[in-house]
């Protein structure tokens, strides 16, 4: 089975994870490595840079609901989803973005058609201008509201875990 690495911009909302599900359904003949990326300018003071931790920043940006939704998707698609990881992009120009894509061996970028940037952090920035100018294949996906399907999947997953516990 063919393997693809896909970059998806994220604002750490559960709604943004619908693009992950779209990428998985579009690429049903591939194993995927998906990199969820958020644009953040690094601090510019020496002290802040010395104390900077990407791991801590990512933990602060994630909500419990977002983390649980990522785990649910990873569990549901474990046979085809090789990796679902989070990262930040902190470059200032198109060249830095292209280098980031090359370093992470990105094959495609999946982005929403109904993009409305919502900063998640005081230093967040919109990555879409970089994405639109990139030479990497861009797949535009219509983002849907989190609705009944998502709630049903979450309830099925919860039911699976709780029924397993009750039989012990």
62-89 as b/e, with b when 16 or more CB fall inside 10 Å?
beeebeebbebbeeebeeebbebebebb
pLDDT digits (tens, 9 = 90+) for 95-130: 999 999 999 999 999 999 887 788 888 999 999 999
CA dist 1 and 82 (Å) reads: 12
Domain containing 112 — which CATH number? 3.40.50.620
- What percent of the chain is modeled with pLDDT above 90? 65
pLDDT above 90: residue 26: yes
Q: Provide the domain count of the chain.
A: 1
Q: What is the domain extent for residue 155?
A: 2-166
């Amino acid at each position: 089975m063919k393997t693809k690495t896909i970059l998806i911009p994220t604002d750490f909302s559960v709604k943004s994870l619908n693009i992950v599900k779209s990428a998985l359904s579009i690429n049903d003949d591939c194993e995927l490595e998906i990199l969820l990326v958020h644009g953040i300018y690094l601090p510019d003071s020496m002290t802040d840079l010395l104390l900077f931790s990407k791991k801590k920043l990512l933990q602060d940006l994630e909500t419990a609901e977002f983390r649980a939704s990522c785990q649910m998707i990873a569990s549901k698609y474990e046979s085809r989803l090789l990796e679902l990881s989070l990262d930040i992009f902190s470059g200032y120009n198109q060249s830095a973005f292209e280098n980031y894509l090359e370093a992470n061996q990105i094959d495609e970028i999946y982005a929403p058609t109904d993009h409305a940037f919502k900063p998640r952090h005081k230093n967040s920035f919109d990555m879409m201008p970089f994405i639109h100018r990139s030479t990497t294949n861009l797949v535009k996906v219509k983002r849907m509201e989190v609705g009944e399907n998502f709630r049903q999947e979450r309830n099925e997953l919860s039911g699976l875990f709780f029924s397993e516990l009750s039989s012990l």
